[in-house]
């Protein structure tokens, strides 16, 4: 049985106008991503991988082509506010810079995405606490995020991305500011939420070492996809019905 892709990118083009010159950043991108995949987009700086990621999540409007997430056309007749609300419900984000809300502490930053939902105060607090606990950061709840180390901040970032229980996690160079040991630690968390929690992960990086975490690697060069390597083994089905730690943490 052919599964329907969770994300489908079709014939995507993006051209930036800088002064009088046009720069074609994305050229004819076609990409299908299936539920539960760990996709790594690899490529040198300036190859358009971040632009591709931002287009997939509805931040950067394409010049032509379409992006479909869960059968919904992301740029089909939608306002930026509607795309914001769509991201809020479906996508968790982890970036190289954590973009903390400076006036809030770790706990408040993590609960922020839930403050945009209709959840009740008690549920919000319970969820935020549980997810921080899962990331091993509950003792730092009252700290300001900037008081933490880079690795700790990225763990809190993961907590913030996961707290809304999204199906898709996107990450743009999440280990860019970290030393290799801390980076491996962060990568293992991504691996866990993909392996055990079956979340779809899309990660942009230029670090070739991370190929081993992925089951689909997209190689990009000069705005085009060079090749796609699918290392995915048989679809795991044994996990059905079994609750993992993430689901338990986010349970109401």
Partner 1 sequence: MKNRYIILLAFKNLISHKMRTILTAGGVAISVGFVVFLVTLGLGLQRISTNQIANLDALRNLTVTSGKSKIVSINDETLGKFSTLSNVVDVQSSFSNPASISYNGSNIDSVVYGKSAEYIKLEAPKFEVNGKYTSNNADEVILSSELLNQLGVKSANSLIGKQVDLVTTIKRADLGANSESKKLSYQLKVVGVIDDKNAPYAYMPANLLTRDGLKNYSGALVRVNDKSDVDKVKTEVENLGFKTASVKETVDQINQFFSVFQIILLSFGAISIIVACLGVFNTLTISLLEKTREVGFMKAMGATKPDIYKLFISESLIIGVLGSGAGLIFGFTVGNVLNLSISGLAKATGNVAVELFYAPIYLAAIIVAIALLISLLTGLYPSFRAAKINPLDALRYE
> Does residue 112 belong to the site contacting partner 1 (CB under 8 A)?
yes
- Alpha-carbon distance of 175 to 190, in angstroms, equals 11
Least CB distance to partner 1 at residue 232 (A): 29
> Does residue 116 belong to the site contacting partner 1 (CB under 8 A)?
yes
- Alpha-carbon distance of 62 to 219, in angstroms, equals 20
Q: Given the rule CB under 8 A, which of 7-15, 64-72, 99-107, 218-226 is the region that contacts partner 1? A: 99-107
Q: Given the rule CB under 8 A, which of 15-23, 112-120, 179-187, 236-244 is the region that contacts partner 1? A: 112-120
Q: Given the rule CB under 8 A, which of 109-117, 193-201, 207-215, 239-247 is the region that contacts partner 1? A: 109-117
- Alpha-carbon distance of 217 to 116, in angstroms, equals 33
Among 93, 94, 134, 135, binds partner 1 (CB under 8 A): 93
Q: Select 32 or 54, whichever has its Cβ closest to partner 1.
A: 54
Among 24, 32, 35, 60, binds partner 1 (CB under 8 A): 60
Q: Select 155 or 160, whichever has its Cβ closest to partner 1.
A: 160
Q: Select 34 or 106, whichever has its Cβ closest to partner 1.
A: 106
DSSP 55-113: HHTTSS--SEEEEEETTEETTSS--HHHHHHHHHHHEEEEESS----TTS-HHHHHHHH
Among 73, 99, 188, 231, binds partner 1 (CB under 8 A): 99
> Does residue 81 belong to the site contacting partner 1 (CB under 8 A)?
yes
Least CB distance to partner 1 at residue 208 (A): 19
> Does residue 59 belong to the site contacting partner 1 (CB under 8 A)?
yes
The C-alpha angle with vertex 227 and arms to 225 and 231, in degrees rounded to 5, equals 130
Least CB distance to partner 1 at residue 107 (A): 13
Report whether 224 contacts 27 (CB < 8 A).
Answer: yes
Q: Show contacts of 112-116: CB within 8 Å, 24+ apart.
A: 112/160, 113/88, 113/160, 113/163, 113/164, 114/163, 114/164, 116/88
Least CB distance to partner 1 at residue 88 (A): 3
Report whether 84 contacts 57 (CB < 8 A).
Answer: no
- Alpha-carbon distance of 40 to 44, in angstroms, equals 13
The 172-211 site mask, x for binding partner 1 (CB under 8 A), equals x---------------------------------------
> What backbone torsions phi and psi does residue 117 show, to the nearest 5 degrees?
-105, 180
- Alpha-carbon distance of 65 to 30, in angstroms, equals 9
Report whether 218 contacts 31 (CB < 8 A).
Answer: yes
Cβ count near 25 (within 10 Å): 21
Q: Which residues bind partner 1 (CB under 8 A)?
A: 50, 54, 57, 59-60, 80-81, 84-85, 87-89, 93, 95-97, 99-104, 108, 112-113, 115-116, 160, 172
């Amino acid at each position: 049985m052919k599964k329907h892709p969770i994300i489908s990118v079709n014939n995507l083009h993006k051209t930036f106008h800088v002064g009088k010159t046009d720069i074609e950043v994305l050229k004819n991108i076609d990409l299908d991503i299936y539920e539960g995949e760990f996709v790594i987009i690899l490529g040198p700086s300036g190859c358009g991988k971040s632009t591709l990621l931002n287009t997939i999540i509805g931040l950067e409007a394409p010049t032509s082509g379409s992006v479909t997430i869960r059968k919904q056309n992301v740029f089909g007749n939608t306002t930026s506010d509607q795309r914001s609300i769509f991201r809020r419900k479906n996508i968790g984000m982890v970036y190289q810079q954590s973009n903390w809300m400076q006036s809030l502490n770790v706990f408040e930053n993590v609960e922020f995405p839930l403050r945009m939902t209709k959840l009740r105060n008690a549920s919000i607090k319970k969820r935020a606490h549980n997810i921080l606990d899962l990331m091993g950061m509950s003792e730092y709840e009252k700290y300001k995020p900037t008081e933490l180390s880079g690795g700790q901040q990225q763990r809190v970032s993961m907590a913030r991305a996961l707290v809304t229980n999204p199906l898709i996690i996107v990450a743009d160079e999440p280990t860019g500011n970290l030393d290799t040991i801390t980076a491996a630690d962060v990568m293992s968390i991504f691996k866990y939420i993909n392996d055990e929690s079956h979340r779809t992960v899309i990660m942009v990086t230029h670090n070739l070492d991370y190929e081993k975490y992925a089951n689909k690697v997209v190689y990009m060069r000069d705005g085009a996809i060079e090749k796609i390597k699918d290392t995915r083994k048989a679809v795991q089905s044994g996990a059905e019905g079994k609750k993992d730690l993430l689901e338990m943490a986010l349970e109401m």
